[in-house]
Amino acid sequence: MAVTKAKPASVKSGSATYAAKDIQVLEGLDPVRKRPGMYIGSTGLNGLHHLIWEVVDNSVDEAMAGFCTRITITLHEDGSCEVQDNGRGIPVDPYPSGPHKGKSALEVVLTVLHAGGKFGGEGYKVSGGLHGVGVSVVNALSKKLIAEIDRDGTRFKQEFVDGGKPKSKIQKVGASPSKTNGTSITFYPDPEIFASEGVEFVARTVLERLQTIAFLNRDLEVVFEDKRAGKKDKVTYQYKGGIIDFVKHLNVSRESLFNKVASYEASESDQTLEIALQWNTGYYEGIYGYANGISTIEGGMHVEGFKTALTSVVNKYARSSGGLKEKEENLLGEDIREGLTAIVTVKLREPQFEGQTKAKLGNVSIRSFVQKETNTKLEEWMLENPTEANRIVKKAVAAAQARIAAKNARNAVRRKTALSGAGMPDKLKDCQSANPADSELFIVEGDSAGGTAVDARDPQTQAILPIRGKILNVERARLDKMLKNTEVQALITAIGGGVGNDEFAAEKARYHKVIILADADVDGSHIRTLLLTFFYRQMRPMVESGFIYIAQPPLFSTEVGKEKTYLKDESAKEKFLAANPNHKKEFQRLKGLGEMDWQELRSTTMDSATRTLLQVNVEEAAEAENIMSVLMGDDVESRKSFIQKNARDVRNLDF
């Protein structure tokens, strides 16, 4: 990403005068089109799908308010997305006052930033869209948007074009086809705005989000229909068990510690909570917080309150039941949470999200509310279910013993590092730069490819770490076992920052780009998945900070004249043939990095000016956990089913 530096104040540039006439005022939706990344995060695939979330969130708010029972999302063959609900319908009566007096409320909502029913009044008690950018931004970033509103038996329609400009005033188009109120928004993303990665929606990405919405809103019917050629599909999500079904879904590929799912809910004044939890026999915790339907991937006060109470309740039960003896130390929170899957969802009147991404909930009152209710209701559940409660305690005690063993193993690794001088693995070819922001670590499959990569690298900024064979599958091993594995030890030592999500610090990492470089075959895919599992489970802050990448060595080569041309994949090959219809030379399929000499590896895969990298990110934490368990766990049928369902979207499959 290019960074443009601002010129110092002392440098004269442009006009010598600087007056009111030089101040630019962007009217209406112009700011959105000028700086789309400020409003939707990016103009890549994440930003494209953010448009759907903004419209869907409005419908979800209607459901949370008790007025909507069904939301339908349709991907049409013409590239548009339609979101339809049976809520109250966006108001269509004339706006009462101010500069927008006389315009329909619908037009104001769609053409004015920060206009809506969630900033005051009694339209919504709770809202997930309160801090969102709103449907007006969707309008601004669309080449066309059509709004159809059903209210009181009449259908109203208004069309907007060219980034949010009304094509005409709102019109009555006849009687409502259905007997219910509702809103339908159909939008066509502007290909000029989303030029980098195109305007084709990915079904898998949409389905993951919609399923979560259905879990969090008990009984809400969420319908997805894909009408695009070659992708036709229809899926309906509706869960009468709500978040209890969510926990069961997340644990389906794992072995549950017991069949029951503990759950409880409570409400007071302007806030409510719903919590469901179940343990599995695995070694990783998954606690997922939601506030007004928004995923708070960094947790917040509601998750803090739950964790504090959970630790207290389980220790209290362990003492009273004899699971912990009088002289034994209390269990730590991490011991108790090993193998736990929990959903903590709250609704509140004035949510205070930290940061523009809503990643963390800051309301202090919700912490004490969740803590108080968990102390009471979870203790009752454990007393009423002693068989399950004793299994929880037994697993936590085993986790505590493993924690102590892992601590000893960590110390042994540190002692070994200290005794061996510089401490870096022998096979690491480090870079000269000591600045992590400039430094890249390529993890390369095999010593042979590692040698080629050493020759191809820029020694100033690029380090090479060859790994031999396939590293340990950390999904099935505790940390103490992991630390005995030679390849895992080399990764931990080379990267720095520690190991284990309780200890690892991304700011101490020696490289801000860790790039997995493996062959484009089955073995290479397996190695990539094993490495991604390791980073997600043991160095997750690296993933969350955007430090993990996958190199994209080309899959094909061909000759144009006397020059060799490399093509990334089948899609690139098809585009090449479309641009060069008379091309007669054969295409060579490159299966291994060893087939390239160092000059080819540099120019196609390692040179920052010409390479392509995929950045690994975590969009939906709960679904990422589920995918990781399915792909790397013991349930073969779940893994097979997942691969079959998602094969066609594999180019967009991110953790």
CATH of the domain at 202: 3.30.565.10
User: Any idea what the CATH number is for the domain that residue 345 is in?
Assistant: 3.30.230.10
In a domain, 575, yes or no: no
Least confident stretch, 104-113, 213-222, 477-486, 530-539: 477-486
634 is catalytic: no
Structure-model confidence comparison of residues 70 and 98, the more confident one? 70
445 is catalytic: yes
Domain end (from 187, 214, 237): 237
Mean pLDDT of 524-549: 88
* Cα 257 to Cα 260: distance, rounded to the nearest angstrom: 9
In a domain, 583, yes or no: no
Q: What angle do CA 89, 93, 95 make, to 5 degrees?
A: 120
Provide the 10 A C-beta neighbour count for residue 80. 20
Structure-model confidence comparison of residues 124 and 250, the more confident one? 250
Total domains present in the chain: 2
User: pLDDT class for 323, splitting at 50, 70, 90?
Assistant: very high
Task: Give me the catalytic one of 304, 335, 519, 654.
Answer: 519
530: left (phi over 0), alpha (psi -120 to 50) or beta: alpha
> Who's near 290: CB < 8 A, 6+ residues apart?
216, 296, 343, 344, 345, 346
Domain end (from 204, 222, 237): 237
> What is residue 416's predicted lDDT score, i.e. its pLDDT?
58
Task: Give me the catalytic one of 503, 523, 569, 649.
Answer: 523
> Who's near 398: CB < 8 A, 6+ residues apart?
none
User: pLDDT class for 561, splitting at 50, 70, 90?
Assistant: confident
Mean pLDDT of 134-157: 94
Residue type for position 600: E
> What is residue 201's predicted lDDT score, i.e. its pLDDT?
95
Whether the per-residue pLDDT at 132 is higher than 60: the answer is no
Least confident stretch, 164-173, 408-417, 453-462: 408-417
Q: Domain range holding 386?
A: 243-402
> What is residue 183's predicted lDDT score, i.e. its pLDDT?
95
**pLDDT for 420-462, tens place per residue?**
444 688 889 999 999 999 999 999 987 778 888 999 999 999 9
Are 263 and 339 in the same domain?
yes
Mean pLDDT (the chain, rounded): 84
* Cα 525 to Cα 314: distance, rounded to the nearest angstrom: 41
In a domain, 331, yes or no: yes
User: pLDDT class for 570, splitting at 50, 70, 90?
Assistant: confident
User: pLDDT class for 415, splitting at 50, 70, 90?
Assistant: low
Q: For the chain, give percent helix, strand, coil, nearest 5.
A: 40, 20, 40
Task: Give me the catalytic one of 455, 521, 574, 597.
Answer: 521
Are 136 and 187 in the same domain?
yes
Are 194 and 302 in the same domain?
no
Strand partners, 192: none
pTM for the whole structure? 0.75
Are 156 and 305 in the same domain?
no
Are 210 and 271 in the same domain?
no
Whether the per-residue pLDDT at 119 is higher than 50: the answer is no
Least confident stretch, 68-77, 79-88, 471-480, 505-514: 471-480
* Cα 264 to Cα 276: distance, rounded to the nearest angstrom: 7
> What is residue 112's predicted lDDT score, i.e. its pLDDT?
85
Whether 340 contacts 287, CB under 8 Å: yes
Are 233 and 250 in the same domain?
no
Domain end (from 216, 237, 258): 237
> What is residue 38's predicted lDDT score, i.e. its pLDDT?
86
In a domain, 507, yes or no: no
User: pLDDT class for 244, splitting at 50, 70, 90?
Assistant: very high
Determine what percent of the chain is predicted with pLDDT higher than 90: 49
Residue type for position 349: R
Are 177 and 260 in the same domain?
no
Are 181 and 157 in the same domain?
yes
523 is catalytic: yes
State the DSSP string of 448-511. HHHHHHHHHS-TTTEEEEEE-SPPP-GGGS-HHHHTT-HHHHHHHHHH-S-SSTTT--GGG-S-
User: pLDDT class for 398, splitting at 50, 70, 90?
Assistant: very high
Residue type for position 113: L
Strand partners, 104: 94
Least confident stretch, 113-117, 381-385, 387-391, 526-530: 113-117
Whether 268 contacts 349, CB under 8 Å: no
User: Whose CA is closest to 474, among 653, 284, 624?
Assistant: 284
In a domain, 426, yes or no: no
Are 176 and 261 in the same domain?
no
Determine what percent of the chain is predicted with pLDDT higher than 70: 84
**pLDDT for 601-612, tens place per residue?**
898 899 988 888
Whether the per-residue pLDDT at 267 is higher than 50: the answer is yes
Are 197 and 336 in the same domain?
no
> What is residue 470's predicted lDDT score, i.e. its pLDDT?
73
Mean pLDDT of 400-412: 82
In a domain, 51, yes or no: yes
* Cα 294 to Cα 300: distance, rounded to the nearest angstrom: 12
Whether the per-residue pLDDT at 402 is higher than 80: the answer is yes
Are 221 and 271 in the same domain?
no
Whether 41 contacts 50, CB under 8 Å: yes
User: Whose CA is closest to 134, among 149, 155, 119, 123?
Assistant: 119
**Beta strands per DSSP E along 167-214:** 171-175, 182-189
Task: Give me the catalytic one of 148, 208, 274, 445.
Answer: 445
Are 73 and 166 in the same domain?
yes
480 is catalytic: no
Provide the 10 A C-beta neighbour count for residue 102. 10
In a domain, 645, yes or no: no
Structure-model confidence comparison of residues 70 and 452, the more confident one? 70
User: pLDDT class for 651, splitting at 50, 70, 90?
Assistant: very low
